[in-house]
Amino acid sequence: MNVFIEDKDIPWENPDPGIRRKVMAYNEQLMMVKVEFQQGAVGALHSHYHTQMAHVESGVFEITIDGEKRILKAGDAYYIPSNVVHGAVCLEPGVLIDVFNPYREDFIK
């Protein structure tokens, strides 16, 4: 993994309708992912053993964590403990920057 990563060099993936993502950087302990949402796109409720933090780079999202919902906007952040059910609904087009520990093996092809 390079120590400097340029956004233009990383291709987008399309995991779900209205959502695209880029794995920006990772090693065995840590992963950073940029996720772009169109308005109305849904990151369905799910859980995984990885801990996760996210920064709302732009847009407005309804974030659900363990049954609690909050509206978060650019500049806000959230934390998801391991194995906790969570999801997102994009209210205004935007970008989330997700960080996972350890890295998401399922995001690497």
CATH of residue 34's domain is 2.60.120.10
State residue 2's pLDDT score. Answer: 82
Q: What is the pTM of this model?
A: 0.95
User: Does some domain include residue 6?
Assistant: no
Across-strand partners of 51?
Answer: 101
- The number of distinct structural domains making up the chain is 1
Tell me if 2 sits within 8 A of 10, measured CB to CB: no
Q: Name the residue range of residue 24's domain.
A: 13-104
User: Does some domain include residue 3?
Assistant: no
The percentage of the chain sitting over the pLDDT mark of 70, rounded to a whole number, equals 99
User: Does some domain include residue 38?
Assistant: yes
In this structure, which amino acid lies at residue 103? Y
Region of 37 on the Ramachandran plot (φ > 0 left; ψ -120 to 50 alpha; else beta): beta
